[in-house]
A and B are shown apart, each in its own frame.
Chain A
Amino acid sequence: MATEFHNLQELRQSPSLATKVFIQRDYSEGTVCRFQIKFPSELGSRIERTLFEDTVKTLNTYYAEAEKVGGQSYMEGCLACATAYFIFFCMETRYEKVLKKISGYIQEQNEKIYAPRGLLLTDPVERGMRVIEVSVFEDRGSSGSSPSSNVSSGISQR
């Protein structure tokens, strides 16, 4: 558990990236966008399991909403076909609207929960919807020791 809380200012001053953790996709329900809720061991000491799992579950809910094949998407699809798909130039699709909501949510989570713990979530859209990238920054309390020790401990995990 991190004993020191960081804020964004502190992170700006000592930006030592220790490692990156990748949350992979969960394909058990098909090709819909869903991420595994498995809590990675590298984050064990940095953040509470429930907080992290809540974030991933909320993201999954948002993606399910974006990809839901229901009344509204049928309307959108039929209207698009009827207008020879010109409507896509004028209107924002529902998927894009939900993606904007998601990026707002991730930013809010980063500000409130992750940055104070020296973590940073990257929006999956920037990684091709393949992974949720969690950047783990070095704990400021241990920055007295040389950064190479953190990195070599990362290597020894291999």
Chain B
Amino acid sequence: MKHCEYQQIDPQALSTPTPTLPPQHAVVQEEKKGETARRKWEVFPGKNRFYCDGRIIVAQQSGVLPLTLGLILVTTVLFFVFDCPFLLKHLTVFIPAIGGVLFVFVVISLLQTSFTDPGILPRATPDEAADIEKQIDNSGSSTYRPPPRTKEVMINQQVVKLKYCFTCKMFRPPRTSHCSLCDNCVERFDHHCPWVGNCVGKRNYRFFYTFIVSLSFLTVFIFGCVATHLALRAQGGRGLMFALQESPASAVELVICFFSVWSILGLSGFHTYLVASNLTTNEDIKGSWSGKSGTEDTGNPYSYNNIITNCCSVLCGPMPPSLIDRRGFMPVEESSQTVATEIELAAKNEINVCTQGTKDLLESASRSPCPQTGKPQTVSTSCPDSIDPADPAVTFNPDVTSDPDPVAVPSLKCGGRHHSHTTSPPDEPRQLHHHHHNRHHKTRSARSSSKRAALHISNPAYNVSLSPPTSPGLGPSHGTGAEEHVRDNFATLH
């Protein structure tokens, strides 16, 4: 993305003369150069899926999105085929025109909501995570299980607590929440919508709002038109049954529209209220601001206390860019240098500071004073149940590498479970929808475990070097076994 010359003086990119290397190193480096550079979406640590080479992003389970699209398409097609000719003849040409415009709006905003990055925050780099850990260690206690880490900030003269995200290894900005289904922190997190198959957050909230508003207009419009059609056919004393027999498709449309109009109108009204008071669904359900004082306006520090300003800032505000840079290329030099590091560690037990690259210096120095006791606690203390502390592959993960993949994988194992506790209360009302996902968990877990295995295998040297007693075959399967165990626990929570 940013091909400025500072890429060159990035210390990882510079090749310091490395000493007598085992032949493994040369082989691996050649392999890395031979591969085409990988895009960042291919190593994305969250549970999202990507299409069109990273242009399209969806959540892991998009099970209900085809149903949503199907219902909308079927109803609208039936409307155009069976009702529009009659209404065109007897009423006006504007009816199909308005229907067409609404339909286009609905479909486009639905696809935009589903395929847009909702405002995912990329996970903290290892350096940032280490810096934050340093600050926390300075101020916190040294108990085996650290208390939930929070930081208080003043926002518009009001105290707001920021929570530490164990998966993403950073303090979440205000209004950011971690979606356990997608395993990402999302800015201005509203909710995870299964109908749309994606999280709704800062970047796609306006599309979501457009979608539900235009869908409620479309539903009401079709309902009204079909009712008019049937009424016109039933005129002259012929009766409703006669009209239904003549146009049975209208009955189908009536039923679909009747049952959906209440929920969609209700949802539109609810979100209009949220937009007018600059709240998110997450905050409203948790009662973050309403518990403190009687009126909601004084509680919410983000509200402008003016309905029009709130609406404009939420819906017409500037569109922030995607922060995860899906289509950027992974820096090949960094990954190959990291791989070289791991092989060197395997080759030599003690660290020779004069012969390593600069990035390796920092990693090795942070590791050497506390080889087994200090850093592994960050992994094991967050989830002592799901991680076997004896597994060297897991214990060493946070220490050694600068490559984010192996760091992300164990934190996924424990972070996912941890966050299932913290995020399940807001998801309680959505349990109806989440029951869909229990079925999908088993089928998807196979695919995700292969993705996790791929993340492990992307650094085969890493596995080999760090866990000599365990074969590489055991490494990924152990990791994914723990992963599936964790996910099953999560599924049973719902």
Chain A residues with CB under 8 Å of chain B are 8, 11-12, 15-17, 19-20, 22, 25, 27-31, 66-69, 73-74, 76-78, 80-81, 84-86, 88, 93-96, 99, 103, 107, 110, 115, 120, 123, 125-131, 133, 135, 137, 146-148, 151-152, 154-155, 157-158
Check A73 against B317 for contact (C-beta < 8 Å).
yes
Going nearest first, the 3 A-B pairs with the smallest beta carbon separation are: A77-B316, A151-B365, A128-B122
Q: Can you name 5 extra interface pairs (CB under 8 A) apart from A31-B175, A107-B6?
A: A28-B154, A31-B187, A76-B316, A86-B108, A133-B128
Is the contact region of chain B dominated by helix, strand, or loop, or is it mixed?
mixed
Q: Which residues of A contact B9 (CB under 8 A)?
A: 8, 11-12, 15, 115, 120
> Does B468 belong to the interface (CB within 8 Å)?
no
A-B contact pairs, 9 of them (CB 8 A): A27-B162, A31-B187, A76-B316, A77-B312, A77-B317, A81-B206, A93-B321, A94-B318, A155-B365
Q: Give the shortest distance, in Å, between B12 (CB) and chain A (any CB).
A: 9
CB contact list, B304-318 vs A, under 8 A: 309, 312-313, 315-318
> Once the chains are docked, how many angstroms separate the CA of A125 from the CA of B134?
23
> Does B156 belong to the interface (CB within 8 Å)?
yes
> Once the chains are docked, how many angstroms separate the CA of A155 from the CA of B8?
27
Q: Which residues of A contact B154 (CB under 8 A)?
A: 27-28
Find B125's partner among A11, A30, A81, A127 (CB 8 Å cutoff).
A127
Check B321 against A146 for contact (C-beta < 8 Å).
no
Stretch at the interface among B60-68, B89-97, B351-359, B423-431: B351-359
Find A22's partner among B128, B309, B315 (CB 8 Å cutoff).
B128
Find A17's partner among B11, B175, B301 (CB 8 Å cutoff).
B11
Find B128's partner among A99, A103, A130, A152 (CB 8 Å cutoff).
A130
With a 10 A CB-CB cut-off, give which of B1, B16, B131 has the most chain A CB atoms: B131
Q: Which residues of A contact B6 (CB under 8 A)?
A: 107, 110, 120
> Once the chains are docked, how many angstroms separate the CA of A137 from the CA of B9?
10
> Does B124 belong to the interface (CB within 8 Å)?
yes
> Once the chains are docked, how many angstroms separate the CA of A30 from the CA of B313?
13
> Once the chains are docked, how many angstroms separate the CA of A137 from the CA of B359?
11
> Once the chains are docked, how many angstroms separate the CA of A27 from the CA of B359?
31
Q: Give the shortest distance, in Å, between A20 (CB) and chain B (any CB).
A: 5
Q: Which residues of A contact B124 (CB under 8 A)?
A: 130
Check B2 against A126 for contact (C-beta < 8 Å).
yes
> Once the chains are docked, how many angstroms separate the CA of A63 from the CA of B261?
41
Check B155 against A146 for contact (C-beta < 8 Å).
no
Check B318 against A8 for contact (C-beta < 8 Å).
no
Query: Given A69-B312, A73-B318, A158-B134 in contact, is the A27-B207 Cβ separation under 8 Å?
Result: no
Query: Given A127-B125, A130-B121, A147-B361 in contact, is the A15-B316 Cβ separation under 8 Å?
Result: no
CB contact list, B344-377 vs A, under 8 A: 353-354, 358-359, 361-362, 365-366, 369
Chain B, residue nearest A92 (CB): B321
Check A95 against B8 for contact (C-beta < 8 Å).
no
Chain A, residue nearest B356 (CB): A147
> Does B26 belong to the interface (CB within 8 Å)?
no
Q: Give the shortest distance, in Å, between A9 (CB) and chain B (any CB).
A: 9
Chain B, residue nearest A135 (CB): B11
Chain B, residue nearest A149 (CB): B353
Q: Give the shortest distance, in Å, between B48 (CB) and chain A (any CB).
A: 16
Q: Which residues of B contact A25 (CB under 8 A)?
A: 173
Chain A, residue nearest B176 (CB): A31
Check B105 against A84 for contact (C-beta < 8 Å).
yes
> Does B104 belong to the interface (CB within 8 Å)?
yes
Find A20's partner among B127, B207, B312 (CB 8 Å cutoff).
B127
Check B156 against A93 for contact (C-beta < 8 Å).
no
Check A155 against B160 for contact (C-beta < 8 Å).
no
Chain A, residue nearest B359 (CB): A17
> Once the chains are docked, how many angstroms separate the CA of A157 from the CA of B135?
11
> Once the chains are docked, how many angstroms separate the CA of A73 from the CA of B316?
6
Q: Which residues of A contact B369 (CB under 8 A)?
A: 155
Check A148 against B365 for contact (C-beta < 8 Å).
yes
Q: Give the shortest distance, in Å, between A8 (CB) and chain B (any CB).
A: 6
Q: Which residues of A contact B354 (CB under 8 A)?
A: 146
> Does B4 belong to the interface (CB within 8 Å)?
yes
Q: Which residues of B contact A130 (CB under 8 A)?
A: 121, 124, 128, 170, 173
Check B156 against A30 for contact (C-beta < 8 Å).
yes
Query: Given A103-B4, A128-B121, A128-B323 in contact, is the A16-B11 Cβ separation under 8 Å?
Result: yes
> Does B52 belong to the interface (CB within 8 Å)?
no
Q: Which residues of A contact B1 (CB under 8 A)?
A: 126
> Does B471 belong to the interface (CB within 8 Å)?
no
Check A77 against B315 for contact (C-beta < 8 Å).
yes
Find A84's partner among B14, B108, B301, B317 (CB 8 Å cutoff).
B108
Per-residue CB contact flags for chain B residues 139-157 toward chain A (1 = under 8 Å, else 0) read 0000000000000011110
Find B318's partner among A22, A66, A78 (CB 8 Å cutoff).
A66
> Once the chains are docked, how many angstroms separate the CA of A32 from the CA of B162?
15
> Does B302 belong to the interface (CB within 8 Å)?
yes
Q: Which residues of A contact B321 (CB under 8 A)?
A: 93, 95-96, 99, 125
Check A76 against B318 for contact (C-beta < 8 Å).
yes
Q: Which residues of A contact B156 (CB under 8 A)?
A: 28-30
Per-residue CB contact flags for chain B residues 107-130 toward chain A (1 = under 8 Å, else 0) read 011001000000001101101100
> Does B137 belong to the interface (CB within 8 Å)?
yes
Find B301's partner among A16, A30, A74, A133 (CB 8 Å cutoff).
A30
Chain A, residue nearest B13 (CB): A15
> Does B210 belong to the interface (CB within 8 Å)?
yes
> Does B174 belong to the interface (CB within 8 Å)?
yes
